[in-house]
Amino acid sequence: MGTSPILDVDLLAFERGSASARDAVVDGVRRSLATGFVYTRSDLPEALLDDAYGLLGRFFALAPERKQAFHAPQSAGQTGYTGLLVETAAGSARADWKEMLNWSAPLPAAHPLRRRHPLLYPELLLPEPELPGITEVLLAFHTALADLQRRFLRVIAVAMGCADTFFDEMTLEAPTLSRALRYPPMPEAPAQGHVWAAPHGDINLITALPRATAPGLQVLVEGEWIDALPPEGRVIINSGLMLERLSNGTIPAGWHRVVAPAGSSGERHSVVQFCHARPWTVLAPVASCCTAETPQRWPGITAADALEEVLYRIQLLPPHP
């Protein structure tokens, strides 16, 4: 396709630059998110990424039974370890060839969000007994990336015609989820037809992806799969289905997949974070994105209902007790 349609913007210029620099970032984000994806410069500490990847690599190298000790039944993949061939993209006939470790910032037991939505606010389950110190590092990583996403949403809010603070309250104490993924070598897959991650859109507002250890992420743009290859040091941001609904479709969800490069026999590690809206948020198109030419496409739905429906469709929602 020639020049990549995914643009490289500078969050720090939006926050610290002149009015014209700020406007340029907003324009770049608006145009790039027509693909569902954008790259951004950030101030995410490289040392924190190094520490997190180092510890996560040691965790995924453990024997299967030692990793499985950190599986949380009935958690819908919202905490702890999820093994190989479990998560299945909606509409896909085969489970993804990946394993995961999930964590988030816990809320107090008496918090009304946790009382009303215990599935979305589970107990933290990290492999601290196997890797002392991993909890502190991964929670610091979660906090830093969640802060980056909240700041980037201010750019998106302006691009939608809203106040830059539009998403601030919506994401406060939300069930934002961090996920480390290991994609094993494809020659080890148990059958033909498995891929690292089948095509899908994320349910949340936006997803942040710092550097991965190998290529493989592809984005669907105008019916063609293109490689997502950000400049060094950038964070990939992609839009989710919640943002698509709020923007009345002016910002489409970024459809993507993860596939091993042809002839590859290696594995891939990545860490992503899914930025959610508070569960009681009503996701309805905002007025600034509804016009005579683009009338309101969807009714409102709560963020909790939207998320639980997707967890069911990807076969992570546990059976009702």
pLDDT of 318 strictly over 80: no
Provide the percentage of residues in the chain whose pLDDT is more than 90. Answer: 85
Q: Which two tokens stand for residue 134?
A: 């991993």
pLDDT of residue 37: 97
Q: Are 145 and 274 in contact (CB under 8 A)?
A: no
Q: Of 2-11, 73-82, 186-195, 234-243, which one has max mean pLDDT?
A: 234-243
Q: Which two tokens stand for residue 127?
A: 């492999």
Q: Class assignment of domain 8-313?
A: mainly beta
pLDDT of 313 strictly over 70: yes
Q: Are 146 and 174 in contact (CB under 8 A)?
A: no
Cα maximum dimension of the chain: 59
Judging by beta carbons within 10 Å of its beta carbon (0-12, 13-18, 19+), is residue 296 exposed, middle or buried?
middle
What are the backbone dihedrals phi and psi of residue 183, each rounded to the nearest 5 degrees, phi first? -105, 110
pLDDT in tens, 216-241: 999 999 999 999 999 999 999 999 99
pLDDT of residue 75: 85
Q: What angle do CA 230, 233, 237 make, to 5 degrees?
A: 55
pLDDT of residue 130: 97
The one-letter amino acid code at 215 reads: P
pLDDT in tens, 33-51: 999 999 999 999 999 999 9
Task: Kindly report the average pLDDT of the chain as a whole number.
Answer: 94
Q: Are 142 and 44 in contact (CB under 8 A)?
A: no
